Structure 1
Amino acid sequence: MTVRDVRVATDKLAVGHGKRRVLTDVDLTLAAGEVTLLVGPNGCGKSTLLRTVAGLLSPLAGTVRVDGVPLGSLSRRALSQRLAFLPQTSQIPAGVTVRELVRHGRYAHRGAFARHTAEDRESIEWALSVTDAHPLADKCLDELSGGERQRAWLATVLAQRAKILLLDEPTTYLDLRHQFDVLDVVRTLARDYGIACGVVLHDLMHAAAYGDTVVVISDGTVLRSGPPEDVLTSDAIERAFGLSVNVVRDTETGHLACFPQRPPVAS
């Protein structure tokens, strides 16, 4: 990886709420064309870290650089042109169609009242296409299923045309099919469009299947970081989650799978 490939880099970053530190000494990089997945037990600081990188929380120590520029020196608009963030939950506007919602993603470039340009329209159509949300474009958001809404919100942040995408638990409340749909989109964005994707997930099997880099967070810091096969080991999972597991590799897909160790069933 060369320096120019790195979109986000943190150095000895400490994050938290008020003066209470949740994570310390975090060195994290998000690279162009790669999916970096943050995993760890509830309350370990995954979302706090992502929100700090997104500029929504102030670092308690250390630095965040976006495209080599200190995060604090970027205006909100300049940051939004580089980085798009999708939180766990978003308020559903009443009576707003999917296409109208996706248009909001262009405000970082044009402002709330500027006329839309050909570039804006092209970006909106691209975002609807890559998320397979075109069939939903004229439907009201409050009429959609959970999976359809998530595609609409994802299209909205993609319309920013940012080269960095941060997603906080994008598969929460979705059924299995829609979880894979969303993660397939993320994989496509990294592979085909060179976007640096940072995603908070709970499911370790999803992390093994979709991550180029997996970051395991536990006990107030980064426990391990690297390719899934190096990071998602039995001992690392036990240290992070307090769960004894067997890690095996699927012979067909090559992906890792984790199974809790259970006492043998009496015959």
Structure 2
Amino acid sequence: MGDLVGHGLVAGYEGKRVLSGLDVRLASGQVTVLVGANGSGKSTLLRVLARLHVPTEGAVLLGGHDIARDSTRALARKLTFLPQSPLVPSGLTVRELVGHGRYAHRGVLGRTTGDDLEAVRWALAVTGLEPLAGRRVEELSGGERQRAWIAVVLAQKTGVLLLDEPTTFLDLRYQIEILALVRRLADEHGLTVGVVLHDLNQAAAFGDRIVMLSAGRVVASGEPHEVITAEAVRDAFGLEVSVATDPETGRPTCLPSLRGHLTTKE
């Protein structure tokens, strides 16, 4: 499928500029994590890359092809996007929900084919949801429900997966489960993955590359050890941190300085 690349992206809302001539590359078969403070442009960038928000300048290329030229159905066969906290239709089983990921592949009559059934089976297997396929979605835990939504976008069978804060509102165990699943999708299935995260340590632990944004511009971009530095975090978040290397993984970890933020008892 190739890399997903944004060139000179300028975008905003109601006359307010959010992205300012931004360049970004999501490499094929890797997990690229977008990080930055609230309002830095992370979610807007992801929506522009998914063609859900049209930039006023610049272009998005997938494998060298401008995605603006694709029909909606054609693009949906190449790229899929999972928003924050999608609404769950009531009464659907997990299998029925995952089946909705096949809409872009169905013909004019919308009939389910053997390819559709196989894609749904595969998506349920990859996300570990086969035992829960007959359960109603509203009966699932938060982590199970998020895996169900990831199964929906996997059933779409695209080469590019864009996830906007997939761990929001999940407890730590489910956050790690979801991020480990995302990691496997790149490693074992070769997907190009772009994901927005708030937690810098999770970004460093699970990402191949990190793009750090501030005020619609790239502050730093590269491998975790190149991006997660005290200077870059200070520039992007206005926060002093100490950065160390995890002895087990060799990846950076950062700890915010609490000096001036805590009071001590006399």
Structures share fold, TM-score greater than 0.5: yes
Deviations 1:2-47 (A, max 9, x none): xx742x1111111211332101121111111100000000111110
Matched, 1:15 2:34: no
Give the match for residue 196 of structure 1.
192
Matched, 1:89 2:85: yes
Q: How many residues align?
A: 263
Q: CA deviation at 1:111?
A: 4.9
Deviations 1:48-94 (A, max 9, x none): 11111111111111111122221211100000000010000211111
Q: CA deviation at 1:263?
A: 4.0
Give the match for residue 170 of structure 2.
174
Matched, 1:242 2:238: yes
Helix, strand or coil for the counterpart of 1:27? strand
Helix, strand or coil for the counterpart of 1:115? coil
From 97, 116, 122, the counterpart of 1:120:
116
Equivalent AA in structure 2 for residue 97 of structure 1: T
Give the match for residue 160 of structure 2.
164
The root-mean-square deviation of aligned C-alpha atoms, in Å, is: 1.7
Give the match for residue 141 of structure 1.
137
Give the match for residue 105 of structure 1.
101
Helix, strand or coil for the counterpart of 1:33? coil
Equivalent AA in structure 2 for residue 174 of structure 1: L
Mapped partners of 1:51, 1:164: distance in 2: 13
Mapped partners of 1:173, 1:113: distance in 2: 38
Give the match for residue 206 of structure 1.
202
Contact between 1:213 and 1:228, CA under 8 Å: does it hold in 2?
yes
Contact between 2:80 and 2:153, CA under 8 Å: does it hold in 1?
yes
Provide structure 1 residue ranges, at least 5 long, that are not aligned to the other structure. Answer: none
Equivalent AA in structure 2 for residue 187 of structure 1: R
Give the match for residue 51 of structure 2.
55
Mapped partners of 2:106, 2:185: distance in 1: 23
Give the match for residue 31 of structure 1.
27
Moved more, 248-257 or 112-121: 112-121
Mapped partners of 1:166, 1:111: distance in 2: 25
Helix, strand or coil for the counterpart of 2:77? helix
Helix, strand or coil for the counterpart of 2:29? coil
From 63, 69, 72, the counterpart of 1:67:
63
Contact between 1:39 and 1:215, CA under 8 Å: does it hold in 2?
yes
Mapped partners of 2:70, 2:104: distance in 1: 13
Distance 1:104 1:172, change over 3 A: same
From 31, 40, 43, the counterpart of 1:44:
40
Mapped partners of 1:199, 1:167: distance in 2: 5
Identity of paired residues, percent?
Answer: 51
From 72, 77, 92, the counterpart of 2:73:
77
Distance 1:115 1:98, change over 3 A: same
Provide structure 2 residue ranges, at least 5 long, that are not aligned to the other structure. Answer: none
Mapped partners of 1:220, 1:85: distance in 2: 21
Contact between 2:98 and 2:120, CA under 8 Å: does it hold in 1?
yes
Contact between 1:15 and 1:22, CA under 8 Å: does it hold in 2?
yes
Contact between 1:14 and 1:21, CA under 8 Å: does it hold in 2?
yes
Report the TM-score, using the length of structure 1 for normalisation. Answer: 0.94
